Amino acid sequence: MSQNPSSNTQPKLDRSDERVRHDDSLAAMAKGFFDRVRSGDLGMLPVAVGLVVISVVFSALNPVFLAPNNLVNLLFDCATVGVISLGIVCVLVLGEIDLSVGSMSGLASAMVGVLWVNQGWPIVGAILAALVVGAGVGLLYATLYNRLGMPSFVATLAGLLALLGLQLYILGPTGSINLPYASSLVRFGQILIMPDWLSYTLALVPGLVMIGRGLRARTQRLAANLSAQPMQALILKAVVLTVALEAAVFYLNLGRGIPWMFALFVALAVLLNYGLTRTKWGRSMFAVGGNKEAARRSGINVRRIYMSAFMLCSTLAALGGILSASRLASSSQQAGTGDVNLNAIAAAVIGGTSLFGGRGSAYSALLGIIVIQAISNGLTLLNLSSSLRYMITGGVLAIAVIVDSLARRSRVSHGRA
């Protein structure tokens, strides 16, 4: 099954050990995938299964669920909590947690309302102020953790209450501020949709990037006498991805189309994914999450890594709060309360980021939040009361964590950490 004649004469650097099975053909790749899943390396599988189950159940109960415009609304809703969930991925990768993201997002939404509407600040100034406060809160958590050794669980639990208090305080007795409907911020959160041609074009990008990067890696690896991914697999993956994306875009364009707010969320997810997988910072994040002392002894500045993660998490939470204010066209006492916290955490975990640290991906927030919002959206369509919705979402979170724990146990016994 050798694709390259030179591999017969001179063994590739990484193919000289006869004990390793190499999954080169498509059939072998499929087998490799099943082996990985069985050993607890679930990847995106729970999301795929979850989405299929959810679509079948909810569309059977209410056909509106799969209507294009309902899905467009779903994407609007995904963007707000999804951005918060991106930050949660950062702290979970370190094996830490931030329980105050909901309150932080509420505070940010209140700040925008008070500074922009009540105090007459320019809108950009209000947004920047909220983001800076977010970064400051993250810095505070990191300092408490690094200098005093305060567990992030406790520090952020205290923050949950303190930030909620601050949110109520700055909103004052009225408790709710309406944002002007004509403003660009509210239009961004409710109306602005990508033009069709742009969404079709952008849907081509991931496949093209995949082929471009795959080809480059392939030439480099072959030049360096390393084995390379077979071409057919690369092209197959890219084609499947592109067809799926174009189909999704086509379906959504039957309705209103792709919201700009969702595009912003996806762009942030892509950026974070690059940071986590392709930079020294990301490598250090996973190292600290896997073995803090080993990371320290490798010369990594562990404190700075914690600081970057907590600050990123709180800042993204603040951004999520601003987006939800623009989505709801108001800053209220309810913003960021209720299930926002848990939804953000559940999304990351369902998407495959481990609560135990050292494993995760930015795309887990992207896919996980779609599952969470689909459930929430479906339950709303069924006119279920929020009491039932909370119970069901709680159950889903519990299942996600159980899957994570079982998968981790299986990985340990299969030597995959």
Partner 1 sequence: MTATLPNIPAKGESVLRLSGISKNFGAVSALTDIDLDVKAGEVVALVGDNGAGKSTLVKVLAGVHQASSGTIEFCGQQVTLDSPAKALDMGIATVFQDLALCENLDVVANLFLGHEMSPWALDEVAMEVRAWTLLRELAARIPSVREPIASLSGGQRQTVAIARSLLLNPRLIMLDEPTAALGVAQTAEVLNLIERVRDRGLGVIIISHNMEDVRAVADRIVVLRLGKNNGVFTPDSSNQELVSAITGATDNSVSRRADRKASHVQGNLGGAA
Q: Is 5 in the site for partner 1 (CB under 8 A)?
A: no
Q: What is the smallest separation between the CB atom of 265 and partner 1, expressed in angstroms?
A: 24
Cα separation, 327 vs 319, whole angstroms: 12
Q: Pattern 355-374, binding to partner 1, x per CB under 8 A?
A: ---xx---------------
Closer of 147 and 280 to partner 1 (Cβ) = 280
Q: Are 365 and 351 in contact (CB under 8 A)?
A: yes
Q: What is the smallest separation between the CB atom of 217 and partner 1, expressed in angstroms?
A: 7
Residue list 225-284, contact with partner 1 (CB under 8 A): 225-226, 278-281, 283-284
Q: What is the smallest separation between the CB atom of 219 and partner 1, expressed in angstroms?
A: 10
Q: What is the smallest separation between the CB atom of 296 and partner 1, expressed in angstroms?
A: 6
Q: Count interface residues toward partner 1 (CB under 8 A).
A: 39
Q: What is the smallest separation between the CB atom of 414 and partner 1, expressed in angstroms?
A: 8
Nearest to 136, CA basis, from 307, 319, 311: 311
Strands (E), 319-396: 330-332
Nearest to 111, CA basis, from 325, 396, 373: 325
Residue list 282-311, contact with partner 1 (CB under 8 A): 283-284, 286-287, 289-291, 293-301
Per CB under 8 A, which region of 10-18, 42-50, 103-111, 192-200 contacts partner 1? 10-18
Closer of 289 and 352 to partner 1 (Cβ) = 289
Q: What is the smallest separation between the CB atom of 285 and partner 1, expressed in angstroms?
A: 11
Beta bridge partners of 125: none
Beta bridge partners of 176: 332
Helix (H), strand (E) at residue 43: none
Q: Is 415 in the site for partner 1 (CB under 8 A)?
A: yes
Closer of 94 and 142 to partner 1 (Cβ) = 94
Closer of 183 and 291 to partner 1 (Cβ) = 291
Q: What is the smallest separation between the CB atom of 298 and partner 1, expressed in angstroms?
A: 4
Q: What is the smallest separation between the CB atom of 294 and partner 1, expressed in angstroms?
A: 4
DSSP one-letter code for 180: P
Exposure string of 380-409, with b = 16+ CB inside 10 Å and e = fewer, is ebeeeeeeebeeebeebbeebbebbeebbe
Cα Rg for the chain, rounded, in angstroms?
Answer: 23
Query: How distant is the alpha carbon of residue 67 from its chain centre?
Result: 25
Residue list 201-230, contact with partner 1 (CB under 8 A): 217, 220-221, 224-226
Beta bridge partners of 241: none
Q: What is the smallest separation between the CB atom of 406 and partner 1, expressed in angstroms?
A: 17
Q: Where are the alpha helices (DSSP H) in 149-299?
A: 152-171, 184-190, 196-223, 231-254, 260-278, 280-290, 292-297
Give the residue, chosen from 49, 161, 382, 412, that forms a contact with partner 1 under the rule CB under 8 A: 412
State the Cα angle at 340 between 338 and 343, rounded to 5°.
Answer: 120
DSSP class per residue in 9-29: HS--GGG--TTS----SHHHH
Closer of 154 and 224 to partner 1 (Cβ) = 224
Q: Pattern 313-352, binding to partner 1, x per CB under 8 A?
A: ----------------------------------------
Q: Is 147 in the site for partner 1 (CB under 8 A)?
A: no
Nearest to 360, CA basis, from 290, 266, 271: 290
Q: What is the smallest separation between the CB atom of 299 and partner 1, expressed in angstroms?
A: 4
State the Cα angle at 368 between 162 and 268, rounded to 5°.
Answer: 75
Amino acid residing at 19? R
Give me the residues that bind partner 1 (CB under 8 A), please: 13-14, 17, 19-20, 217, 220-221, 224-226, 278-281, 283-284, 286-287, 289-291, 293-301, 358-359, 411-412, 414-417
